Structure 1
């Protein structure tokens, strides 16, 4: 049986895919697709799953669907790997409600980005964490969001890490100077995990001391990301550089078919759909790609699959 810590005080490590949310329509999960996707990533050797993150389109999902997703994923994972659940809501009551469902269903940890409507100062963020953390039934990871301020400033992170129940940080900022500052201050917190979000930075992050990656492409090709993680941990530079090149090809062929930040999730869902893993229906305000992009991504996904296996 897996838990967040392999031993008391041991940080969580490895590849934790931010699971896409397979949808049949705006208010219905694609349940067979969710089951196939879950088995696909676990079969690929990942070290955990993160649901209700950015790649999971969490802000576009209704409350009841979010709770159902938590129940379904925790049920089918059945404690084979840790499950992390996003609670990045604008209302604290909603965050606490998802946290409660996660705890009841056997999830292992929670993930929180700064509330994303009202801009908050660092002092306000710290106060929020001080009030929220003691009410949570599971360990909490902080999540630095890619798209907008506020970020958790390094000093805020340092103070947050002294609070009971705060277990680490996922950084999706793409700013390696920020990431390295956090990595340096984590030397004082041996219990804490530091994860990188953007997979383009996975190799260098793990080589310089990150505990792993929360990489969207691991939905599609989990074995590739797990292999890259292990090569970097082992310090096998030649193999790390080679696998990093393969990850960059996934990014180029799957994520860059459209324009705007949404094209990563659209490309990923399109590729997953073309490989028969799950539906590519998108939560509003986004729509799946049109025919030309879909054809291009389907061909790329088949080509990548053949070259990676």
Structure 2
């Protein structure tokens, strides 16, 4: 096994990979390999496991460790591997980080510990204490829709002074706060700034962000890489039709259901139709029904993206 060398800031498209499952607590190793090869074959710049799209909060600790082990072996240093360690218990996050380090991951990613509504002062103390004990660099993960706690731009700026906190993934969808964060970090060009929502990636890269951790890149990695590269070149003529395709993917596949997990259900359902995983989600999440899968099948036929 090899470790991919990662330079900071980390740039590009880093898909938040779904977790292929056979049942609630059994990893689908066969499709895991197929999916990794498919995604890396699309030219992506890294891989992120155990994030929101990877159903981190629903997976047992033993399955999380198994996923880290198999993914690290299969990636084998070809791209930097990021591992999510979000948890409500500090010790569990540290143990996951140790597993990630043993596997050769480049960095770990942690959202705010959910359940208690922490203040910004408490968040700063938590992340500093966590970063002090980690064997790998840490990226902050701003995901207020699920954690119910937002990382304010000033908080990110303070935490960016910590030597082991090297970046942020912002999935808030708050473009004003994201630009404020970028402005505060303008004198720290090595600090990685990545965005979560697919729809915003092209815009923020044009404005100086380093890339996207976009769920749709599970399905169409080359499309997202092409979009990112056009944005870095500031080639608006090439970028506009690619952005239009990304918006079509989002509008077709992320909004079929009416639950907070509809985008996970949509991505996993679409991947199952492409033969890259089973349509299995970990409890308490439920997969889309055959009726919803039929809609996804129709949308896949309409989306003009080669796979």
Tell me, yes or no, whether TM beats 0.5. yes
Give distance in 2, aligned partners of 1:258 and 1:156. Answer: 34
> TM-score, structure 1 length as denominator?
0.96
Count the aligned residue pairs: 304
Could you say what the CA RMSD is over the residues aligned between the two structures, in angstroms? Answer: 1.2
- Cα drift, residue 140 of structure 1: 0.3
Q: Is the 8 A contact 1:270 1:298 kept in 2?
A: no
Q: Give the equivalent residue in structure 2 for 1:56.
A: 54
Using the TM superposition, name which of 238-247 and 211-220 deviates more.
238-247
Q: Give the equivalent residue in structure 2 for 1:236.
A: 235
1:97 aligns with 2:105: no
Q: Choose from 32, 38, 41 the match for 1:40.
A: 38
Give distance in 2, aligned partners of 1:146 and 1:251. Answer: 20
Q: Is the 8 A contact 2:12 2:211 kept in 1?
A: yes
Q: Secondary structure at the match of 2:140?
A: strand
C-alpha deviations, 1:157-190, integer Å up to 9, x for none? 1110111111110000000000000111121212
Quick one: structure 1 residues 213 and 107, their matched pair in 2 at CA, closer, same or farther if it must change by over 3 Å? same
1:279-298 matches, cutoff 5 A: 279-298=278-297
Q: Give the equivalent residue in structure 2 for 1:250.
A: 249
Q: Is the 8 A contact 2:154 2:181 kept in 1?
A: no
Which runs of 4 or more aligned residues in structure 1 lie more than 6 Å from their structure 2 counterparts after TM superposition?
Answer: none
Give distance in 2, aligned partners of 1:118 and 1:239. Answer: 45
Q: Is the 8 A contact 1:112 1:142 kept in 2?
A: yes
C-alpha deviations, 1:88-134, integer Å up to 9, x for none? 01101100110000000101100010101111111111111221111
> TM-score, structure 2 length as denominator?
0.96
Q: Secondary structure at the match of 1:187?
A: coil
Give distance in 1, aligned partners of 2:50 and 2:232. Answer: 28
Q: Give the equivalent residue in structure 2 for 1:118.
A: 116
C-alpha deviations, 1:41-68, integer Å up to 9, x for none? 1000000000000000100001100000
- Cα drift, residue 146 of structure 1: 4.1
Q: Give the equivalent residue in structure 2 for 1:3.
A: 5
Give distance in 2, aligned partners of 1:109 and 1:54. Answer: 17
Q: Give the equivalent residue in structure 2 for 1:74.
A: 72
Q: Is the 8 A contact 2:198 2:246 kept in 1?
A: yes
1:164 aligns with 2:163: yes
Q: Give the equivalent residue in structure 1 for 2:173.
A: 174
Q: Is the 8 A contact 1:275 1:301 kept in 2?
A: no
1:199 aligns with 2:198: yes
1:270 aligns with 2:266: no
- Cα drift, residue 149 of structure 1: 2.8
- Cα drift, residue 308 of structure 1: 3.2
Task: Mark the runs of 5 or more structure 1 residues left unpaired by the alignment.
Answer: none
Q: Is the 8 A contact 2:4 2:81 kept in 1?
A: no
Give distance in 1, aligned partners of 2:291 and 2:93. Answer: 39
Q: Choose from 12, 15, 22 the match for 1:14.
A: 12
